[in-house]
Structures are given as C-alpha cells and as structure tokens.
Amino acid sequence: MPTTCVVGILWGDEGKGKVIDYLAADADYVVRFGGGHNAGHTLYLPSGKLVLHLVPSGIVHPHTVNVIGNGVVVDPVHLCGEIDRLIERGIAVELGRNLLLSERAHVIVEAHRLQDAWGEGVRSGGKIGTTGRGVGPAYSDRCARIGLRLGDLVDPARLDRALANLVEQKNAWFGPAGIPLLDAAAMRNTLLAAGDRLRAGIGDTGKLLRDASAAGKRILLEGAQGCLLDLEHGTYPFVTSSHASTGGAYSGSGLPPHEMRTVGIVKAYATRVGEGPFPSELKDDTGDRLRVAGKEFGSTTGRPRRCGWFDSVAVRYSGAVSGATELVLTNLDVLRGFDPLRVVVGYRLPDGSKTTDFPAFELERLTPEFAELPGFTEDLQQVRRFEDLPPNARGYVEAIERHTGIAVRTISVGPERQQVILR
C-alpha cells in the first residue's frame, strides 16, 4: 500500500472510522492531520462500539504506530481522558510506542471553548453550529502567532513565555467582551500536569513520518470532518477551521507533497450536522425516515443530523479538490425501502440558469435537479459480492459512478467490520 489518504467527501460523518479501521490492518502508521476532538470516528469492534475523537483509529490494531500530527489541535486534558477510556476498554495505548504526538501541534485550552461559545452568541450572520470544543479559536491563535504548542507543555520556562503572549493578548479583549479573564498560574498547573502525562509521546513526528516514508513504510492519513467543511474549499463560512481535504494531509503531517492514493468516503445519501447550506436537504418525512434508518445523530454532540439525497455535483467537486480516485460508498443498506431514490445531477441558479459546478456563494438559493432511480426492498447487510446485490441497488451504485465520474471500489452495507463489498 503506498501512502493513502482517507477523506470525507461532504460534511463529515461519512463513516471514515470503519474504513480507516479496515485499511489500518495493512498500515504501519495511521496519522491524524487536522481537526481536533470535534471529530467522532466510530468503530464497531467485536467488543462493541468505540468512538474515537482525537486518537487515530489505528489504535485498535496492535501493530500500528498512531500519530497525532502537527495540523491537529489538541486539548491535552481531553486527550488524557480519551487515553484512559481506551485503556479501560482493554486497548493498549503506550505513549512513545504506539501513540506519538507532534511537538508542533497546537493546544486547545479552556479559554478557546469560552471564546467558541461567545463567538456563536455574537454572530449576526447566523450561528455556525460549532461543536463548541474550542477548535476554531485555537486555530485562530495559531494564525495570530499566540498559540501554545504541545512541545511547550514539557518545558516550564518555554510554557511561561508562550503563556505570557497568549494571556496578554486574550485578556486585552476578553475583559471588555465579558469573557472570564485567563489566569496564567492556574493554566500553567493544568498544562504542566498534562505535559507530564503526555511527555513520552511528544516529539518530531514530521521527521519520523518522512523517514518512514523514505523507508517504504505504509502510511495511512486519517482525515477528519469532510471536504465541504474544509476552511478553503468548503461551504464558507459554515466550515470548520482546518484544511480537512487532502491539502491538509501534507501540511498537517509534515510529509512533502508526493504521490498519494486518495480514497473519498461518501454516504449513499447526504447528511450535515450544524448550520449552513445543504442543497439536497430533505425537510420532510423522507428526511426524518432517513435519520431514523441511518441512526443519524452526531457521535460527538449527539445532535440530529440533517439528511438529504446523494448530491453528485457536490461529490464531483470534492472528489476533484481532494484528488480522490476512488470512493467508498457507505450506508447503502440504509436506503432499503426508499422508492424512488433520487440523485442530484445539477443545480438551477437563482437567475434561472443551470450549472453542474459547485458554486462558492448563494448555495442556499439553488434548486437541485434530480435523476430518479428505482429503489430496492431487500436487506443488503449479508451481501458480500457486488454481483449479489439486488439489480436496483447495483443500478444505484452505477448511477453514482456515472454522475460523479469516480469509481466506487468499496461498498459498506452495515456497521460491522466484515459488512463490506470489495469490487
């Protein structure tokens, strides 16, 4: 396996956890390159359901080295808790052996969560619907060059210098904004304690990965969120604050841009959690039925996900931006009993003209145009070969390939590891 990057194609929640888990069986390194504990990657293991937020999904495979790359924003208190919960579940997590953390990764502190809530409260243009984990403000501080990095937590003098910068700038406006002021001494204690706990895992993961790549090791880059939540290419401003598409895999891991196989994960229908435009959204009974059938509730916040039809215009755009040469189609089994099935094939713009490109603006004013396909009533969960799918399910997959121009190589027909069809 060459270096492989797995990205969500729409707004996240495509079922990346299961795919990474499946691909990690053949990987030496599994690397998170962006986002923070806003992500929720769900695995269905023989021992039951496991939701990972920050720790890469390869952690359940004893042979893989898992890396939290420099592009991730890390809440160190959350990370210590997540490691504890994994160990309680009987999963071996050893910092410095199978879990490594970039010293360059930026740190989320309590103030970022307060700032996240404050920012949502004062937005006159409508809430983003953030996960409230402080992810956006932590990335803002990184850009403003006042952030703390994981490497600061293992050196008290370095931490003091970095904290002084952060506290000075934040408190200058937190007071007038009504956000509780930062207390540098209290923060210092919390951060040094977390640094002590995480110390053995913190280091130069970029060099490690470049060396591993040069030595021919198999590296799997685990995307978080999805291409339409990418800060640059997504449905701005209703996006997350990281580069969730493939571009972020290079900058967020420290690997140089070289050839990479990019696998796009997409559901057989579309979902979105949080606010923002969603051209194929179903605000009717069909959308409610999809939510129930697909158990579409956020794995991080528990919020109900908005549901809609498969959108081939959006998928083609994200596929092009991410360089995905193949798709993994998840949740095909969920569409059982929906008839007809619909797939977006174009948009009508507010001025009446038509497009098959994904616009940067006024997405909420588009009218989607659909192709209709006959549905299927059979249970797909036991099917393991494409030829054994009912003809209408096969026809649906082939229509998706036709309309997106991207091959569907893998189909997931249930939450369990083995419920997969490889083509």
Kindly list the residues in this chain that would bind ligand IMP in the complex (CB under 6 A): 11-13, 38-40, 128-131, 133, 135-136, 224-225, 229, 238, 240-241, 273-274
Q: Looking at beta carbons only, is 38 or 98 nearer to ligand IMP?
A: 38
Residue among 37, 41, 53, 243 flagged as catalytic: 41
**Cβ nearer to ligand IMP, comparing 265 with 383:** 265
For the CB of residue 34, give the shortest distance to ligand IMP in the complex, in Å: 10
Which position's Cβ is nearest ligand IMP? 274
The one-character DSSP state at 297 is B
User: CA separation (Å) from 116 to 44, 70, 84, 232, 309?
Assistant: 31, 21, 26, 20, 31
Q: How far is the CB of 245 from ligand IMP (least distance, A)?
A: 14
| C-alpha to C-alpha distance for 304 and 2, rounded to whole angstroms | 37
63: annotated active-site residue: no
Residue 309 C-beta: closest distance to ligand IMP, Å: 18
Nearest-approach distance from CB 132 to ligand IMP, in angstroms: 7
Coarse DSSP helix, strand, coil percentages of the chain, rounded to the nearest 5 percent? 35, 20, 40
CB nearer ligand IMP, residue 130 or residue 312? 130
Token couple for 54: 């920050």
Query: Residue 237 has what DSSP assignment?
Result: T
Residue (120 or 378) nearer to ligand IMP, CB: 120
Give the 3-state secondary structure of residue 126.
Answer: coil
Give the Cα separation of 162 and 192 in Å (integer).
Answer: 13
Contact 90/101 with Cβ under 8 angstroms? no
By beta-carbon proximity to ligand IMP, the closer residue of 221 and 393 is: 221
Per the structure block, which two tokens stand in for 12?
Answer: 């996240």
Residue 352's contacts (CB-CB under 8 Å, 6 or more residues apart) are none
> Is the Cβ of residue 40 or residue 151 nearer to ligand IMP in the bound state?
40
Nearer Cβ to ligand IMP (218/267): 267
User: 247: Cβ–Cβ under 8 A, 6 or more apart, which residues?
Assistant: 230, 232
Residues 6+ apart with CB under 8 A from 146: 165, 166, 169, 170
Sorted by sequence, the CB contacts under 8 Å of residue 58 that are 6+ apart come out as 20, 21, 24, 27, 29, 30, 64, 65, 66, 220, 222
In angstroms, the CA 252 to CA 68 distance is 9
State the nearest-atom distance from the C-beta of 30 to ligand IMP, in Å.
17
Whole-number minimum distance, CB 128 to ligand IMP, in Å?
5
Residue 53 designated active-site: no
- Minimum CB distance to ligand IMP, residue 224 (Å): 6
What's the Cα-to-Cα distance from 170 to each of 36, 115, 184, 194, 205, rounded to whole Å? 21, 10, 11, 22, 30
Catalytic residues: 13, 41
